[in-house]
Amino acid sequence: QVQLVESGGGLVQAGGSLRLSCAASGRTFSRFDMGWFRQAPGKEREFVAGHRWRSGNTYYADSVKGRFTISRDNAKNTVYLQMNSLKPEDTAVYYCAARSPDVSINYDYWGQGTQVTVSS
């Protein structure tokens, strides 16, 4: 099992920045692909950013490309999402997720979420 706890959400004005953190515990964090997702009120959960542990490659939703950056610190068992140039449409609950690519193509582990609110 992997336990994930997000932090760093809050209220910020449009154009501002936030950094979300996701602390992982349990199994070998460094061998997990990590992802960030978000869900806005009345909308389905959507992918935001991902990091593949084998290649180190990162990938992003088009809506956040160039503004958000995913990174990880395996020594701290933590993945981050740096969010810059925030827009009101980025308002959502942000979730951290993990998957073991040797076992599943799905993200099987999820945090409880952290609220990000961007005011105009």
Please write the tens of the pLDDT for every residue from 38-69: 999 999 999 999 999 999 999 999 999 999 99
What is the DSSP code (8-state) at residue 110? E
CB 99 within 8 A of CB 109: yes
39-72 burial string, b = 16+ CB within 10 Å, else e? eeeeeeeebbbbbebeeeeeebeeebeeebebeb
Tokens, residue 53: 């542990």
Return the closest-CA partner of residue 26 out of 57, 1, 55, 43. 1
Q: What are residue 58's DSSP bridge partners? A: 51
> Looking at residue 104, what is its pLDDT?
84
Q: Are strands 33-39 and 46-51 parallel, antiparallel or unpaired?
A: antiparallel
- pLDDT average, residue stretch 16-45: 93
Res 1 pLDDT > 90: no
Please write the tens of the pLDDT for every residue from 63-97: 999 999 999 999 999 999 999 999 999 999 999 99
Q: What are residue 50's DSSP bridge partners? A: 35, 59
Res 27 pLDDT > 80: no
Average pLDDT, the chain: 95
What is the DSSP code (8-state) at residue 32? S
